[in-house]
């Protein structure tokens, strides 16, 4: 008993130190598992809406969580700005031309943010860099240019919706180009052709007005020839119209020469316009062929969506609302 009481304090101290060391080891293991001591790299992006976004939302690359959303804010241009961080173990995957996409399942629920890495190669993006999303024109342009590594084997509905979005975007761009070309405010060969056609049309209208005036004069002259007596008298009269026209210091001749020069210039412009149309024919044919291909792709995508069993019957038909009013013809007489 004397030995037991003599070393009791030392034994208790050893057990306390062992418990503290064990607790510290457990905290270190938990911290390492929760990445308390690891470095996170911050980046930011833009979205058109906050639907499907939340703080703590995981960011996944091919099914692996590589980071999380840290904060969400509304920008001055009414765009939704997010700040997110990427774990240091995946930092080398943040390549130039990378984009973000809201991963939604067929039921419309958010499945997190999907990170699509770029194919540019080289060094990773520096911290605090901007990474566009597919909600922005910049992000969609990177995908269309083939600069983004798109994963294979996506589900059918997601692929169809992505193709439908790309086809509708291409169709919208084609419609905008055609509208700009028709209005004369766009760029490209078709817009130049429409502008040249507008100028040529104005010149043709001027020529038609001149020809109409000449036709009026010819008609009057023909009417005068129908009366030989009056016409001969007018021709023989020194004070008549013919003498007056011939004695005008060549003004009639100069006017006819000017009219012929204008007609020659218009014919030259029409010839140049015909040459320009022939040279621009391959570009116009390519633009029309692109529009036809886009319309065919859109039709195929819409047909696939229509035949999909998960979407079939999802759009209810329009119901005719019965009216409570009756006309005078509906009454009994």
* Domain residue limits, the chain: 40-152, 183-307
pLDDT value, residue 34: 62
pLDDT value, residue 272: 82
* CB-neighbour burial class of residue 290 (10 A; exposed 0-12, middle 13-18, buried 19+): middle
What is the β-pairing status of strands 58-61 and 110-116? parallel
For residue 115, the surrounding DSSP H or E stretch is strand 110-116
Instruction: Choose among 79, 172, 90, 169: nearest CA to 125.
Output: 90
In eight-state DSSP terms, residue 130 is: B
**Beta carbons within 10 angstroms of residue 289's beta carbon:** 10
Local confidence pLDDT in tens for the 333 residues of the chain: 444 556 677 777 888 888 888 888 887 777 666 666 678 999 999 999 898 899 999 999 988 999 999 999 999 999 999 999 999 989 999 999 999 998 865 544 556 899 999 988 889 999 999 999 999 999 999 989 989 988 765 544 454 455 555 566 666 666 666 666 555 555 656 566 666 666 667 776 777 777 777 777 767 766 665 655 555 555 555 555 556 656 666 777 777 888 888 888 888 888 887 777 777 777 777 777 888 888 888 877 777 777 766 655 555 555 565 655 555 555 554
State the sign of the Cα–Cα–Cα–Cα dihedral 66, 68, 73, 79.
Answer: positive
Do the Cβ atoms of 118 and 142 come closer than 8 Å? yes
pLDDT value, residue 95: 93
- Is the model's pTM score more than 0.85? no
In eight-state DSSP terms, residue 123 is: S
In eight-state DSSP terms, residue 35 is: T
pLDDT value, residue 262: 85
pLDDT value, residue 1: 45
pLDDT value, residue 215: 73
């Amino acid at each position: 008993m004397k030995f037991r009481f003599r070393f009791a304090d030392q034994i208790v101290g050893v057990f306390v130190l062992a418990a503290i060391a064990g607790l510290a080891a457990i905290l270190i293991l938990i911290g390492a598992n929760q990445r308390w001591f690891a470095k996170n790299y911050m980046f930011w992006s833009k979205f058109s809406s906050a639907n499907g976004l939340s703080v703590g939302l995981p960011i996944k690359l091919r099914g692996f969580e590589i980071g999380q959303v840290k904060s969400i804010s509304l920008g001055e241009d009414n765009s939704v700005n997010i700040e997110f961080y990427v774990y240091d173990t995946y930092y080398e995957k943040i390549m130039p031309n990378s984009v973000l996409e809201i991963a939604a399942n067929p039921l419309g629920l958010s499945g997190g943010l999907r990170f699509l890495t770029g194919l540019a190669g080289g060094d990773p993006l520096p911290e605090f860099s901007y990474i566009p999303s597919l909600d922005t024109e910049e992000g969609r342009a990177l995908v269309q240019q083939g600069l983004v590594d798109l994963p294979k084997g996506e589900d059918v509905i997601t692929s169809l919706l992505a193709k439908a979005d790309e086809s509708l975007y291409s169709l919208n761009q084609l419609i905008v180009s055609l509208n700009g070309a028709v209005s004369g405010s766009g760029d490209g060969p078709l817009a130049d052709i429409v502008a040249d056609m507008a100028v040529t049309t104005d010149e043709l209208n001027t020529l038609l007005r001149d020809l109409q005036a000449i036709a009026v004069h010819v008609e009057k002259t023909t009417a005068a020839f129908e009366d030989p007596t009056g016409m001969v008298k007018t021709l023989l009269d020194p004070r008549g119209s013919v003498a007056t026209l011939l004695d005008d210091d060549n003004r009639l001749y100069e006017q006819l020469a000017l009219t012929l020069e204008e007609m020659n210039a218009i014919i030259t412009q029409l010839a140049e316009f015909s040459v320009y149309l022939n040279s621009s024919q391959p570009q116009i044919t390519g633009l029309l062929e692109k529009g036809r291909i886009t319309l065919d792709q859109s039709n195929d995508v819409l047909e696939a969506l229509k035949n999909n069993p998960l979407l079939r019957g999802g759009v209810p038909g329009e119901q005719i609302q019965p009216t409570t009013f009756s006309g005078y013809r509906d009454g009994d007489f």
